Amino acid sequence: MDSWEFGTTVRKWRDRVSPDTAGVRVGARRRASGLRREELADLAGISVDYLTRLEQGRSTSPSVQVVEALARALRLSDSERDLLFRLAGQTAPGSGVVSMRIPASVQRLLDRLAGNPVAVYDATWTLIVANAPYDALMGPTTSWQGIERNSVWRNLIGPGTRAVHTREEQAEFEAALVGDLRLTTARYPADQRLQRLVDDLRAQSPRFVELWNSDRVADHQDHGRRKVIDHPGVGRVTVDCDTLIVAGDDLRIMIYTAAPETIDAERLALAIVLGTQTLVD
């Protein structure tokens, strides 16, 4: 890895990304035309200290996940993304592994949905990115690292989410997640990151082992569309959660909306205002 050139390139590309393009709110007195270091770090889901060390050439060998996150936050073209991977001493992930890349066309779609809570997952149900309204509704995601970003882990082993389920609904939801993950392993048999995830889940969760070894094959279509979210600031909000599948890139885009002119729509709007004000502060 050429750590100096990698850092220089990241700094140069950071300077050319306008905050508006990246969906970053700015104040009236802002002088920088590009992204500030803390803004890029937040968009990429890494610490400011780590980004500083990368830009200054003091940290080497960033992971594939970090390079992919930086490429996404910097809105790089395909050729620029490949260059960033080469500078990091990595090979850009090929077609035989689960992609964490959000293509430019999908990013434009996400930009148009910026007012709604939206989260994007890869085919392993690992969170790639969530926007500010999503964090406002469902709780902050920016501090999640590693397996914490995986929805299977969060629901079977970790702290769960703000979604309210009956015991039966939770069991169905867990089965659907694990079933979809089984389908993913069949599509990507050579993906070592995916295999490590499955091994970690098997080691940590008897429930996962039970579902993994069952005969049931479930996928994302089995997930309940209507969800009740227990928000700490506004109470319970009933929302529709629609999952859009980007077939060519095997992404899952989850969009939360509420029926217009209802109390749920009012509570959702209030949750977003409260949460994004906190995020801006």
Q: Where are the domains of the chain?
A: 3-87, 104-280
Q: Which residues of the chain have pLDDT under 50?
A: 222, 279-281
pLDDT of residue 27: 64
pTM: 0.84
Helices marked H in the chain = 3-16, 19-22, 37-44, 48-55, 64-73, 78-87, 104-112, 132-138, 151-156, 167-187, 192-204, 206-212, 263-280
Q: How many C-alpha atoms does 176 have within 13 Å on its Cβ side?
A: 14
> What is the phi/psi pair of residue 246, to 5°?
-90, 100
CATH class of 3-87: mainly alpha
Q: What number does CATH give the domain 104-280?
A: 3.30.450.180
pLDDT of residue 280: 45
pLDDT of residue 96: 87
Per the CB < 8 A criterion, the answer to whether 137 and 271 are in contact is yes
pLDDT of residue 90: 86
The sheet carrying 235-246 orders its strands as 127-130, 118-121, 251-257, 235-246, 226-231, 163-164
pLDDT of residue 281: 45
Structure tokens at 78: 């395909």
* Residues counted in the chain: 281
pLDDT of residue 152: 97
Longest distance between any two alpha carbons in the chain, whole Å: 60
Same CATH topology for 3-87 and 104-280? Answer: no
Rounded CA separation 141/42 (Å): 10
